[in-house]
Amino acid sequence: MRRLAQLVPILLGLSLLLFFWVRSLPGGPAAALLGERATPERVAQINRIYGLDRPVWEQYLDFLGRAARLDFGVSRMTERPVTEELVSRFPATAELAVVAILFAVGLGVPLGYLAARRHLTWIDNLSVAGSLIGVAIPVFFLGFLLKYLFAVQLGWLPPDGRQSPRLFVDHPTGFYVLDGLLRGDPASSWDALRHLILPGIALGTIPLAIITRITRAAVLDVLHKDYVRTAEAKGLTRAVVNRRHVLRNALLPVLTVTGLQVGLLLSGAVLTETVFAFPGVGSFLVDAIAARDYAVIQGFILVIAVIVVTVNLLVDLGYGLVDPRVRLR
């Protein structure tokens, strides 16, 4: 409960920074909406309609009060409530983030462990070099490479979108893979999963490289501990030593960096969804920034920030489960 109470000033400060950051962007809603037809009179009219002519502190208090009720206003682009837009688009980003983190953790932890166990061999050198390349390649560039190779040249996977145009199915939850399983339609789920593979790999490459390096460093540190050498000297099998003494004690930094990658995945989804024409939160946020749609920008970024803060709180609380030596006070 004390940790939850600490989130209140964090979120208040975040909302304040977000509110003034959005208003520091060049131009404004009126200029974006009117374009070349913008005149001082018409700009003043648009500002009056959207309440942008009121004092800044009054606008902020109104924004804060609405946000507390999960009411972020109406999108100027679609004329729909921002909350409805978020609810309709968030499942796509959530599915993409899940695939990316599964790809990153599922490969990163075994690769990091293998590199540590084969320290200073060609496997270790290859993993280090590969992780450096993975961090250095921009997400959007890797996305174009994957599309060109696997979609254009080989034709194995769809190049963009979230579902094949030939499929006409309802998605009550918004999670396409889950909806297909609930309806007993594995073909629909498989089609949705195929559309997630390329953007999921592109989005998960940087977290994969980071998790691999952190796992390698953590395992190398644990392998030189006295209790590991004692366990091996007692004649315990390799599997028992790895499971009880190596991986369990090396998971703490891996858990930390995995939780931090959630924020990277949500922010990286902006580029990934744009490259793959994926109809999620990120691509819609790009359009909102271009259109200076303050309501969408504020609402979407604030919700993403709350998710990141919540995930990091859960990671902090999970330390005690992973490592009994950690005691939260």
Q: Return the percentage of the chain with pLDDT > 70, whole number.
A: 88
Mean pLDDT in residue range 80-103: 88
- Most confidently predicted of 57-66, 269-278, 290-299: 269-278
Taking residues 191-205, what's their average pLDDT? 89
Give the max Cα distance, the chain: 84
Position 192 scores a pLDDT of 87
Return the CATH number of 87-279, one of 3.30.1360.120, 1.10.3720.10, 1.10.760.10, 3.40.50.300: 1.10.3720.10
Q: pLDDT per residue over 105-158, tens digit each?
A: 899 888 888 888 888 888 888 888 888 888 888 888 888 899 989 988 888 888
With vertex at residue 216, the alpha carbon angle to CA 326 and CA 210, rounded to the nearest 5 degrees, is 90
Cα four-point dihedral sign 129, 132, 137, 139: positive
Q: How far from each other are the two terminal CA atoms of the chain, in whole angstroms? A: 11
Residue 28's pLDDT band (boundaries 50, 70, 90)?
low
Parse the chain into domains and list their residue ranges. 2-68, 87-279
- Listed in sequence order, the residues at least 6 apart from 126 whose beta carbon sits closer than 8 Å to its beta carbon are none
> Rounded to two decimals, what is the model's pTM?
0.79
**CA 285 centroid distance within chain:** 14
Work out the angle at residue 240's Cα, subtended by the Cα atoms of residues 235 and 245, and round it to the nearest 5 degrees. 100
Q: Does the pLDDT at position 32 exceed 60?
A: no
Model confidence at 296: pLDDT above 80: yes
pLDDT, mean over the chain: 80
| 29 closest CA partner among 285, 281, 288 | 288
Per the structure block, which two tokens stand in for 88? 């309709």
pLDDT value of residue 325:
65
